[in-house]
Amino acid sequence: MLEFHVATPRDRAVLCGRGRSRRDFLQVGALGAVGLSLPQYARAAAEGKVRPGHEKRSCILIFNLGGPSHVDLWDMKPEAPAEIRGPFKPIRTKSDAFEISELLPRHATVADRFSLVRSCRHDGAAVHDAGWQMMQTGRRFTGGIHTPHAGSVADHLLGRRSDLPAFVVLPQLMGRGGGNLPNGQAGGFLGKAHDPFALMADPSQPNFKVPDLLPPDQIGVTRLDRRRKMRDVVDATTRAFEASEDARLLDDNFQAAYRLMTSSQAREAFDLSREPEAVRERYGMNRFGQCCLLARRLVESGVRFVTINTFLTVFDEITWDIHGSKPFTSIEGMKDIVCPMYDQAYSALIEDLHTRGLLDETLVAGLAEFGRTPKVNPAGGRDHWPQCFTCSFAGGGVKGGRVVGASDTIGGFPAERPVGPGDVVATIFHSLGLDHTSHLPGPAGRPFALTDFGTEPIRELFA
């Protein structure tokens, strides 16, 4: 077992003798560390890290902050007592294998294109950020080791396909979760060069623009010239650093950031005004809906991995966190607030990817940090429950209309085929075609195998 973490040279690099970190140097406006410019994909393919036929694969990971109630949405128990089954009824879907909640009528029309895993679980604390961490990286952070996000691993092994970064988070990184824990949306021990590019803007706003992603004549000659010369700070400080591997990587990342900032391809990919108004309205003119549309545009333009946070925190807005008592909503509150938005955007994304011929090459993974208690609480809500919950998978080689695993009669624990966070992340790697024998440069110089993230992918999804 890995028991300690030693900072890598990338983490330790300090510039200018003033405590300025490499992260600070890479923070080109709002761009941050956006990946490497090395021809990693060709190298990965040559080394056999990608299975043949998977070269075009991408992933859209929808993370449902707050923890949706599986018993009220995906894994209903209509025969259970009222305090278990809740107020809603199941409806038939386009799949013969499962019914879902009446709150998700548009999901029902595309149910032949996604599959459900009803036996997910984890043994982490019943706090939001513990689940965020485990479900996005496959592991609990222990001994000071921060495991990289699945998108960061794809970035490291596969690299970028275009001027766009390999890994993007929409609309921005997760906020607070209550447990004061790292949320897992970072490069971890792979280094900050593999942190995601975070949009940091709401694409549903009329004046939506990506910060610093503007034509050169709008950025300004002086501003661009200043950023071109940032590397001169390093040159003037120390020749020893300039000759190091860190300096080469620093320069590569600066060039990648600069290329993104001035790329017409990137500007077009992020430009939602190029979409017909009817398409935008089909997704929903709200933050989550427009993030789903933007995710489709990004994978269409070559981005390998997009994570969409349905919400940014569980404290400042109504989310899936349905405790019942204020400021949270109740089970009934999902009907009017959260479910219509989610139902519209998710179904639009699946339909759009299918119509455009992108679904077979794009895995859409719907994850969450946990489910909700089988029994309704006195406030008319349900509380945190990591012992059993449901995740969904579509596209990327997944056969739709299936159910993997099962919960017990009240949705409290897996009754068949328990699935842990490592299995979920391994499934994402499998869809992307990553060779599970591949190794990463782990903490303290120790190799870290992809199999260390989890055991086996959920192969029933692909059979």
pLDDT digits (tens, 9 = 90+) for 211-226: 666 554 544 554 555 5
Residue 201 in 3-state DSSP? coil
Question: What is the structure's pLDDT at 232?
Answer: 58
Question: What is the structure's pLDDT at 227?
Answer: 54
DSSP of 359-420: GGGEEEEEE-S-EE-SSPPTTS---EETTSEEEEEESTTPPSS-EE-EE-TTSSSEEES-B-
Prior bond to 340 cis, omega within 30? no
Helices 287-300, 338-355: crossing angle, 10 deg rounding: 20
pLDDT above 70 as % of the chain: 79
* Mean pLDDT (whole number) for 100-108: 98
pLDDT reading at 89 higher than 70: yes
Residue 136 in 3-state DSSP? helix
Cβ atoms of residues 288 and 172 within 8 Å: no
Q: How far apart are CA 360 and CA 462, in angstroms?
A: 12
Question: What is the structure's pLDDT at 228?
Answer: 57
Of 158, 117, 452, 184, the C-alpha closest to 305 is: 158
pLDDT reading at 40 higher than 70: no
* Mean pLDDT (whole number) for 240-260: 56
Prior bond to 171 cis, omega within 30? yes
Q: How far apart are CA 112 and CA 444, in angstroms?
A: 46
Question: What is the structure's pLDDT at 276?
Answer: 97
Residue 172 in 3-state DSSP? coil
* Mean pLDDT (whole number) for 228-237: 54
Q: How far apart are CA 386 and CA 127, in angstroms?
A: 9
Residue 48: pLDDT band with limits 50, 70, 90: low
Residue 210: pLDDT band with limits 50, 70, 90: confident
**What own/partner pairs with CB < 8 Å and gap ≥ 24 does 439-445 have?**
440/148, 440/153, 440/156, 440/157, 440/189, 440/190, 441/8, 441/189, 441/190, 442/2, 442/189, 443/2, 443/4, 443/5, 443/6, 443/8, 443/145, 443/189, 444/2, 444/4, 444/5, 444/6, 445/6
In 160-286, which residue ranges form alpha helices assigned H by DSSP?
A: 216-219, 221-228, 230-237, 239-242, 245-261, 264-270, 277-283
pLDDT reading at 34 higher than 50: no
Element containing residue 100 per DSSP (H, E): strand 100-101
Q: How far apart are CA 166 and CA 223, in angstroms?
A: 26
Residue 44 in 3-state DSSP? helix
Residue 126 in 3-state DSSP? coil
What are the structural domain ranges in the chain? 9-220+249-461
Residue 35: pLDDT band with limits 50, 70, 90: very low
* Mean pLDDT (whole number) for 120-132: 97
pLDDT reading at 25 higher than 50: no
Question: What is the structure's pLDDT at 16?
Answer: 34
pLDDT reading at 37 higher than 60: no
pLDDT digits (tens, 9 = 90+) for 371-393: 999 999 999 999 999 999 999 99
Q: Which amino acid is at 147?
A: T
Cβ atoms of residues 165 and 196 within 8 Å: yes
Tell me how far CA of residue 31 lies from CA of 168, 282, 442, in angstroms.
11, 30, 26
Prior bond to 443 cis, omega within 30? no
Q: How far apart are CA 389 and CA 406, in angstroms?
A: 10
Question: What is the structure's pLDDT at 31?
Answer: 33
Of residues 53 and 411, more confidently modeled = 411
Q: What is the DSSP letter of 221?
A: H
Q: How far apart are CA 154 and CA 203, in angstroms?
A: 25
Which of 13-22, 187-196, 397-406 comes out lowest in average pLDDT? 13-22
pLDDT reading at 242 higher than 80: no
pLDDT reading at 451 higher than 80: yes
Question: What is the structure's pLDDT at 306?
Answer: 98
Cβ atoms of residues 193 and 249 within 8 Å: yes
pLDDT digits (tens, 9 = 90+) for 311-344: 999 998 999 999 999 999 999 989 998 999 999 9
Longest dimension (CA), the chain: 73
Environment class of 243 (CB within 10 Å of its CB; exposed 0-12, middle 13-18, buried 19+): exposed
* Mean pLDDT (whole number) for 23-43: 37
Q: How far apart are CA 121 and CA 389, in angstroms?
A: 6
DSSP of 332-362: THHHHTHHHHHHHHHHHHHHHHHHTT-GGGE
Q: Return mean pLDDT, the chain.
A: 85
* Mean pLDDT (whole number) for 184-193: 95
- Which pair of tokens denotes residue 426? 């391994």
Of residues 327 and 43, more confidently modeled = 327
Cβ atoms of residues 292 and 352 within 8 Å: no
pLDDT reading at 19 higher than 50: no
- Kindly give the pairing relationship between strand 384-385 and strand 114-120: unpaired
pLDDT above 90 as % of the chain: 68
Question: What is the structure's pLDDT at 113?
Answer: 98
Question: What is the structure's pLDDT at 453?
Answer: 80
**CATH code of the domain occupying 9-220+249-461:** 3.40.720.10
* Mean pLDDT (whole number) for 297-312: 97
pLDDT reading at 403 higher than 60: yes
Question: What is the structure's pLDDT at 445?
Answer: 81
Question: What is the structure's pLDDT at 256?
Answer: 64
